[in-house]
Amino acid sequence: MARGKRGGESVSAYDKALGLLVRREHSARELKSKLERKGLGADESAAALAELQAKDFQSDARFGEMLVRTRIAGGYGPRWILAELRQHGIGEDEAQALIDAAEPDWPALVRDLVRRRYGAKPAVGLAERRKRAAFLLRRGFDAATVQSATRAQGLESQAED
């Protein structure tokens, strides 16, 4: 049945999955993949996952909420977070609902992220604004938010001159 061993005893897929969930939330896709990489059969992994979900020990919605909160706090934008949620098997509509439920203030998050990354001094020149914009785009912020933030920085620097 199970191929893992702990102290001479076989460890079931359920026990292994539960051990993983104790450490942190996992998506169903991620948990199933980890179990199969550890040599547990697909059928056994699926059955263990179904039992964990029935007991509400594993929930993609709860995992998604955790991931959204963590990524927002880490300075990632909505496009990045949507892509990551899709990689974990969470559908587009559900992922967007999770992000909307978090009610992030994207412009404030962008300002804070730029302040942490580049300090309080505003961008001087077009090249510096482009560099900052590219950084924000890589972090998953939409073009309108990035453009608004980089233009505001440009206006601030011109007003100080």
Whichever domain contains 133, its CATH number is 1.10.10.10
Q: How high is the pLDDT of residue 123? A: 81
**55-69 confidence digits (pLDDT tens):** 999 999 999 999 999
Rounded to whole angstroms, the Cα distance separating 37 from 17 reads 12
Q: Are residues 15 and 49 in the same domain?
A: yes
Q: How high is the pLDDT of residue 9? A: 55
- The answer to whether residue 2 sits within a structural domain is no
Q: Are residues 142 and 117 in the same domain?
A: yes
pLDDT tier, 153 (very low <50, low <70, confident <90, very high otherwise)? low
How many other C-beta atoms are found inside a 10 Å radius of the C-beta of residue 116?
9
Q: Are residues 121 and 95 in the same domain?
A: no
**8-53 confidence digits (pLDDT tens):** 456 889 999 999 999 999 999 999 999 999 998 899 999 999 999 9
Q: Which residues pair with 118 in a beta bridge?
A: none
Overall number of domains in the chain: 3
C-alpha dihedral, 132 to 136 to 137 to 140, nearest 10°:
170
Rounded to whole angstroms, the Cα distance separating 77 from 129 reads 18
Q: Are residues 30 and 46 in the same domain?
A: yes
- The answer to whether residue 115 sits within a structural domain is yes
- The answer to whether residue 1 sits within a structural domain is no
Q: Are residues 36 and 15 in the same domain?
A: yes
Residue 151 clears pLDDT 60, i.e. is over it: yes
- The answer to whether residue 5 sits within a structural domain is no
Q: Are residues 42 and 82 in the same domain?
A: no
Q: Are residues 147 and 116 in the same domain?
A: yes
**81-134 confidence digits (pLDDT tens):** 999 999 999 999 999 999 999 999 999 999 899 999 988 888 888 899 999 999
Q: Are residues 89 and 111 in the same domain?
A: no
- The answer to whether residue 43 sits within a structural domain is yes
Please give the residue range of the domain that contains residue 94.
60-102
User: Which whole number is the average pLDDT over 139-147?
Assistant: 93
User: Which whole number is the average pLDDT over 139-146?
Assistant: 93
